[in-house]
Structure 1
Amino acid sequence: MEEWELKAYLKAGDIARRVKEEALRYVRPGMKLVNVCEHLEGLIRSLGGQPAFPINISINEVAAHRTALISDDEVIPSDSVVKVDIGVHVDGFIADTAVTLCFNPAYDLLIEATKEALDSALNSVKAGIRFSEVGKVIESIARRYGFRVVKNLSGHSLGRYLIHAGESIPNFYDRLNLRRFKSGAAYAIEPFLTKGFGYVKEGKLITIYSLKRTRIKGGLSSDEVKLLNVINERFKTLPFTERWLKDLGYGPSKLRELLRKLIKRGYLRGYPVLIEIASGVVAQFEDTIVIVDDNVVVTTRK
């Protein structure tokens, strides 16, 4: 890894850490999701970064992929467990971090267990160790507390302008996963714990998208071509939300129709919200690491 790349990772991590601290201070029951998302995304930009993906605010049994829509009326409920997932990039180099806020004391132990799972996982990482050995650490802590890991959610390698760069870091011991941590690489470690069944399913709601292919063939309307070009220019391969396109003047209904058509035609991916299959409340904590020689640098912590 070149020195300038490491500097970009460290800057992105510092911004993400500060935004995470703001989320802990700022987010409270009764707030609109759209206000929270726009506040935190605005802070990322004001600190010198760009969102690597829309702020995710996933509540209770919703584990991931929920961001606010344009004029979203949903509010954070009282007595809820709220996961705030934050992505920052600096010149395409990404920091990915998450925190869970608990407004229901019944889930305090779940929060404690998930925090400990992440801390222990980070302490176990070194160049050359198998991903599954870290997953084993996470799962053992979950079991000790009486919880399950969410098996079909995982940590992941990071690449330039790539949130998921092709490698998955399981939150359990997967004997078939033979991959190892490598020096010069960046990874996101993110335990998800639950009292539920330990798997998520896709819901119907899609609030996040990403570009799937850029080569435009015939058969698209002028609006579809315009939208694709804007998406490619603004976001490249990084995920985005309809909120970041509202300046185009289509209006929410027309914009969603265009996005649906582009998914159907294979130009975009849609990311449905992910819901624990037994409606179990899910907690998540996440940090980003960069391995430099024999040193593991957690970019999203002080």
Structure 2
Amino acid sequence: MSISNQSELLGMQQAGEAVALTLKSMRDYARPGMSTGELDEFGRSVLESFGAHSAPKLTYGFPGWTCISVNQEVAHGIPSRSRFLREGDLVNIDVSAELNGFWADNGGSFVLGASNPTHQSLVDASKTILQKAISSIRDGVKINAVGGLIEAEAKRRGYRVIKNLTGHGIGRGLHEAPHSIANYYDRLNRGKFHKNAVVAIETFISTKAGWAYENGDGWTLQTRDGSYVAQHEHTIVVTDGEPIILTLANGIWE
């Protein structure tokens, strides 16, 4: 989507606020011993309070309102009443939604409860790298240059990136052009970011693995070697300068 007027910008800001505050509320609500299904139902109630609708359910018939991935799961984890969170788990919540015809996407990994230094370092790296990547985006910047930045920053910290999961365009649907905003330098991608474009930028920072695999349930992606992965994602509007980040909860990086 390309923003063409103030009404569209306002619509995207409202959708962004809905997913950002839902993600923050879910993170604050999560507790050891809680099932991922209960956490997901709480997320549904928050989305509904905004009048928003689950994007993965609307678009793909996903069996949950949000995606909740734990430990070696990388993305698209199915919430379950029989899956219980534990102290120190690496948890990722991905919230995407439609509101009044506008779509926004927001995700974040965090360590549940007690400190886990290994997990926390990974989470901090993912968050910091996403901040750097987003700050580098403006009109005319090459998409693969941002991917190269993410990959280089991960390597500098002793991590790798997951190469088969990418950011994407968004706005009037969940996935729009550009369909691949990779976490690595893709020499074949000659695309550029353009002013007023709405895109979702994601990091997938891994302790070792470079690829995520479907685990047999039709949805959940995970590593095969026991690697952990932290993901962070924001929906932004590209400008001539610093991008407009639509999915900051109360204007704060989480």
Q: Same fold (TM over 0.5)?
A: yes
Question: In the alignment, does 2:60 pair up with 1:34?
Answer: no
CA distance in 1, matches of 2:55, 2:194: 23
Question: In the alignment, does 2:183 pair up with 1:171?
Answer: yes
After superposition, where does 1:143-154 map in structure 2 within 5 Å? 143-154=155-166
Count of aligned positions = 235
Q: What does residue 78 of structure 1 align with?
A: 87
CA distance in 2, matches of 1:121, 1:108: 20
Query: Is contact 2:169-2:179 (8 Å) kept?
Result: yes
Question: In the alignment, does 2:230 pair up with 1:274?
Answer: no
Task: Map Cα deviations across residues 26-64 of structure 1 (whole Å, 9 max, x no partner).
Answer: 112211111100101210110232222231110111111
Unaligned runs of 5+ in 1: 207-271
Deviation at 1:18, TM superposition (A): 1.2
Normalised to the residue count of structure 2, the TM-score between the two structures is: 0.87
Q: What does residue 57 of structure 1 align with?
A: 68
Question: In the alignment, does 2:79 pair up with 1:68?
Answer: yes
Correspondent of 1:142 among 141, 154, 162: 154
Q: What does residue 189 of structure 1 align with?
A: 201
CA distance in 2, matches of 1:166, 1:99: 22
Structural RMSD (CA): 1.6
Deviation at 1:99, TM superposition (A): 1.1
Correspondent of 1:88 among 86, 97, 111: 97
CA distance in 2, matches of 1:292, 1:3: 14
Question: In the alignment, does 2:142 pair up with 1:130?
Answer: yes
- Secondary structure, counterpart of 1:188 in structure 2: strand
After superposing the two structures, state which structure 1 stretch, 30-39 or 75-84, moved more: 75-84
Query: Is contact 1:130-1:180 (8 Å) kept?
Result: yes
Q: What does residue 257 of structure 1 align with?
A: none
Counterpart code for 1:44:
L
Question: In the alignment, does 2:47 pair up with 1:100?
Answer: no
Query: Is contact 2:12-2:171 (8 Å) kept?
Result: no
Unaligned runs of 5+ in 2: 57-64
Task: Map Cα deviations across residues 269-294 of structure 1 (whole Å, 9 max, x no partner).
Answer: xxx21111322011111100012565
CA distance in 2, matches of 1:144, 1:135: 14
Question: As a proportion of its length, which structure holds more helix?
Answer: 1
Query: Is contact 1:159-1:165 (8 Å) kept?
Result: no
Normalised to the residue count of structure 1, the TM-score between the two structures is: 0.74
CA distance in 1, matches of 2:217, 2:120: 28
Change (3 A) 1:293 1:23: same
Change (3 A) 1:201 1:134: same
- Secondary structure, counterpart of 1:20 in structure 2: helix
Query: Is contact 2:71-2:89 (8 Å) kept?
Result: yes
Counterpart code for 1:186:
V
